[in-house]
Structure 1
Amino acid sequence: MPLKSDTCRWGILSTAGIAKKNWRAISRSTQGIVSAVASRDAASAQRFIDECQANCPFESAPVALGSYQALLESKDIDAVYIPLPTGLRKEWIIAAAKHGKHILAEKPAALTAADVQEILDVCKTHGVQFMDGVMFMHSRRLEQLRQTLDSPTGIGSIKRIATQFSFYSDQEFRTTNIRSNSKYEPHGALGDLGWYTIRMILWINQWRMPTQISARCISTLQGQGSPKSVPMEFSAELQFDNGVSASFYCSFATEHQQWCHISGEKGSIWIDDFVLPCFGSNVGYDLNRPEFVTDVCDFHMHRRSQRFSVAEYDSGHAPSQEITMFDTFHGLLKGSTPDESWGRMTLQTQQVLDRVFQAAGCSL
C-alpha cells in the first residue's frame, strides 16, 4: 500500500517520553509530518503536542485525540508510531494494520515470537510496512563497520562477540516505572536493553541463529502493583554453528554502558556507544591489532589502533540515526509491496529473546 503523496502523515499512539525524540526525527526527515497524537486522555495528548510544538514546531499543529481507536480510524494518517508498553503493543499493532496504517513500533514488538509472527502475518495480509524502532540499524556507521569486518585487512574471522547495555536505576524507577512492572514489561532489562545487544550480535554474525544458549537472571526487581518480578540484571551466552560465540549483559543496576567488542583471529573492534551515539558530529569505532614485540630481554606490547568514523550527528540533526530511520521508512513506502526483511529482523531478535528468557528459568 504505497503512499499516495510525497508526505507521510504520522500518528503517534501514546505520549511516551521516547515519542518526543521521534517527533523531532519526523520533523527533520525529508517526507514526514506528525498529524495527530492520541492518548487515553485528550488533555494529555494536547499537553504533549504543546510541549513538542514549542520545542520543534510543525507548520500546522497536530490534532490531539482522546483514544487510540480515533487515531486509527482517521483518514488523515498514513503511518503510526507505537511506543506503547510491550504488554499492550500487539493489540494495537494488529489494529493499526487492519486499518491500513504502516507501522513503526518500539521494541520488543510483542511478548513472544508467536505474537510477532501473528503481527507480521496481519501486516502482510493488509499490505502494510512494519519496522521496529531500533535506531542504530539505520546508522551509517554500520555500513562502514561491515566493510571493515569483510576486509582482508580487518580482524580476520570473527570468533567472539561481547556486548553490554546498562544504566543505573534509582529507587523511584524501581518502584514506579513501567519497566519494573510485569504486567507491562515482563522482560524487564532484557526487553528494554537486551533487545539491542541481541540485535547487534545477530547483525554482526550475518543473522545466523544460535545453536546453543545458556542464560542467567542475575537479579530482579518488582515495582508497585507488579504481579511478578522482572529481570534487573541478565546475562547470556550464545554459540553459533560457524564457530562464533557471543555473550551479553543488560542491567538496570550498572551505570551507562553500551559497548560492543568483536574479536577476530587478527584483531578486534571496539565500539563504546553502539546504541546511543555520544554527543558530537561523528560516530565510529576502533580497530585494534596489537603487536607483541620481543628483543632478547625487551618485551613490549604495541597498541596499533586505527579509528574509523563517519560524519553523523548523535541526535536531532540529519543525518542522525533516528532521522535516517524515518527517511528509510518513508522510502519503503514508495515500493509496490512492503519490505518484509525488517519484520524478519524483529522476529529473529524476539526468537532469541524468548530462548534466553526461558533458559534463565523466567516465564511470563
Structure 2
Amino acid sequence: MTQSTNSPSHVRWGIIGAAQIARKNWKAIRMSGNGVVSAVASRDLSRAEAFIHDCCMEVPPVTFDASGQATLARPVAVDDYQQLIDRDDVDAVYIALPTSLRKRWVVAAANAGKHVLCEKPMAVHADDAEEMIGACRANNVTFMDGVMFDHSQRLPAMKQVLAEPGKVGTLRRVQTHFSFCADDSFQSDNIRANADLEPHGCLGDLGWYCIRFTLWAADDRLPTAVSGRAITSYEGGNVPAEFQGELKFDDDLSAGFFCSFRCVNQQTATITGDLGYVTVDDFVLPFVDAESKWQLHQHELQVDNCRWNFGRHSVGDAVREHASGEADSQEVRMIRSFGESVLSGTPDARAADIAMKTQRVLDALRRSDAEKGAWVTL
C-alpha cells in the first residue's frame, strides 16, 4: 500500500541501499524544504527496517497533505529495489548501492520515469555511464551524482576571487589531496577494497572528488591528456589503495592529485596562478563550523644584496554556511537543488554533463595505469 499523495511542492524520495552515507542524505531530504522520504529498500528487509528506525529516532520524517500541512509519517521498508521504483509515491530515487550495481538500477529508475540521484563513482566504465545518462535524458528525468561540495556556496565565491584582476592571475596548477587511514580490517571487510563491488578503489571513492574539483577550477573543461598510477593496491593489484594522477589542459594549465586509504585524514586543494594561489583545507567535507573558509596567498620574495626576505601575505575569507545538517549546508543544498529541478520539470543538464566528464577522466586514468602511467588522450 502506498502513502497518500504529497503536495506538488515536495519531491517524494525512495532510498535504494541502506549505506551509511544514505543516513546523511535522509536528514538532508528532511532539511531541504522540498522533499520527503516515502520508502527505503534493501535486499534484507530487516536492514531497511533498522535503517528507518535509526534515522527516525534522530530525524523524524514527515509527509505533507494537499494544503501543505506536515504530519509525521514513517517511510515504508521494502526488500525489492524494483518494487520501490514502481511505487506511486516515489518521484525520485537516491541510489546508494555499490558501483558495480548502479547501472542496472539507474536505467530501471529512469525507464520508470523516476529522477535519479546516484552515489559516486557513477559507473564501472564510461560506456555504462553514457547508457545511464542516455536513459535519463530519453525519459526527461534529472540525473545527478552525489558530490555535495558542488553545491557549496564556497565555490562560486572562490571563483570570483580567481577571476578578480591582480589576485591569482592566469591559472597554472591545481593540486588536490584526499585521504584517510583505514583500519586493519578494511581490506578484508570493506566493499571499497572489493574488486567485484568497487573496482576503482580509492580512485573512485576519493579521487572522484579530486577530479571534480580540478574540472571545476578549469571551468568544466576536460583535460587533453591524463597520466595515472596506482601506488599500492588490494586484491592482487586490481583495486587501487593509493593513486596519483596528472592532468594536462589545452591552455598550459596542469593538475595533480593524490588519494589514499593509507594516509591520515587530509582534504586539501591548492589553485595556483602567476600572481597568487588559493588554498582550501577541507574541500570535500567542511570542518565543523558555521563558515566555509579558504585563503588567498600572494607571498613576496625581496632580494637586495645580502638581504633575502620572503614576506608572507595571506588573507582569509569565508562564506556563511554550516558544515553539515543545517538548511544552508552543502548536502542540503544538493537535495534542494535536485528537488527544484524535479519540481520545475527542467532536468539539470550541467549535473549530468559534469558527472559524465568526471567518469571519462577516471576511465582514462585507469587506462593509463594499465599502461604503466602512459599519457592517455581524451
TM-score bin (small chain): over 0.9
Q: For residue 375 of structure 2, what is the aligned residue in structure 1?
A: none
Q: Distance between the aligned counterparts of 1:214 and 1:46, measured in 2?
A: 45
| Alignment-mate amino acid for residue 103 of structure 1 | V
Asked if 1:264 corresponds to 2:273, the answer is yes
Displacement of 1:308: 1.3
Say whether 1:218 aligns with 2:231.
yes
Q: How does 1:59-208 map to 2 (within 5 A)?
A: 59-208=72-221
Distance 2:85 2:222 in 1: 35
Residues 219-258 of structure 1 mapped to structure 2, 5 A cutoff: 219-222=232-235, 229-258=238-267
1:323 to 329, 332, 353: 332
Higher mean Cα deviation, 4-13 or 158-167?
A: 4-13
Please report the RMSD computed on the Cα atoms of aligned residues, expressed in angstroms.
1.5
Alignment counterpart, residue 31 of structure 1, candidates 29, 34, 40: 34
Aligned counterparts of 2:241 and 2:168: Cα–Cα separation in 1:
34
Displacement of 1:173 in angstroms is 1.0
Amino acid in the other structure paired with 1:143 = P
Task: Say which is worse superposed, 323-332 or 335-344, in terms of deviation.
Answer: 335-344
Question: Which of the numbers 300, 321, 330 marks the counterpart of 1:291?
Answer: 300
Counterpart of 1:343 in structure 2 is 352
The reply to whether residue 48 of structure 1 matches residue 51 of structure 2 is yes
Matching residue of 1:300 = 309
Would you say the 8 A contact 2:11–2:343 is kept in 1?
A: no
Deviation digits for residues 109-163 of structure 1 (CA, Å, limit 9, x no counterpart): 1111111111111111111111000000000000101101111032000001111
Q: Matched residues in 2 for 1:297 and 1:109: separation?
A: 57
Using the TM superposition, give the Cα deviation of residue 4 of structure 1 relative to its aligned residue in structure 2, in angstroms: 7.3
Counterpart Cα distance in 1 of 2:151 and 2:272: 23
Tell me the residue number matched to 2:376.
none
SS at match of 1:117: helix
| Partner-residue secondary structure (3-state), 1:334 | helix
Paired residue type of 2:120 = K
1:60 maps to a residue whose letter is: A
Instruction: Provide the rounded CA distance (Å) in 1 between the counterparts of 2:371 and 2:206.
Output: 16
Aligned equivalents of 2:294 and 2:50: distance in 1? Answer: 40
CA deviation vs aligned residue, 1:5-60 (integer Å, no higher than 9, x gap): 00111110010010000001111111111111001121111110000000111121
- Matches of 1:362 and 1:333 in 2, distance apart? 42
Shift of 1:228: 6.7
Is the 1:86–1:108 Cα contact (8 Å) retained in structure 2?
yes
TM-score, structure 2 normalization: 0.92
For structure 1, which runs of at least 5 residues remain unmatched after alignment? none
Q: Is the 8 A contact 1:182 1:228 kept in 2?
A: no
Asked if the contact 1:180/1:229 (under 8 Å) is kept, the reply is: no
Question: How high is the sequence identity, in percent, across the aligned residues?
Answer: 44
| Aligned AA (1:170) | D
Whichever residue aligns with residue 15 of structure 1, its letter is: A
Tell whether the 8 Å contact from 1:278 to 1:314 is kept in structure 2 after alignment: yes
1:358 pairs, out of 337, 345, 367, with 367
In structure 1, the residue corresponding to 2:203 is in which secondary structure? Answer: helix
Dislocated runs of 4+, deviation >4 Å: none
Distance 1:253 1:216 in 2: 16
Query: Which amino acid letter does the alignment assign opposite residue 302 of structure 2?
Result: V
Aligned residues between the structures: 357
> Matched residue of 1:332: which SS?
helix
Alpha-carbon distance in structure 2 between the residues aligned to 1:176 and 1:31: 37
For residues 186-228 of structure 1, the C-alpha deviation after alignment (integer angstroms, 9 at most, x for no partner) is 0000000000000000110112221222211100013xxxx97
For structure 2, the 5+ residue unaligned runs are 1-5, 62-71, 373-378
In 1, distance between residues paired with 2:303 and 2:197?
Answer: 58
Contact 1:155 1:268 survives alignment (8 Å): yes
SS of 2:26's equivalent in the other structure is helix
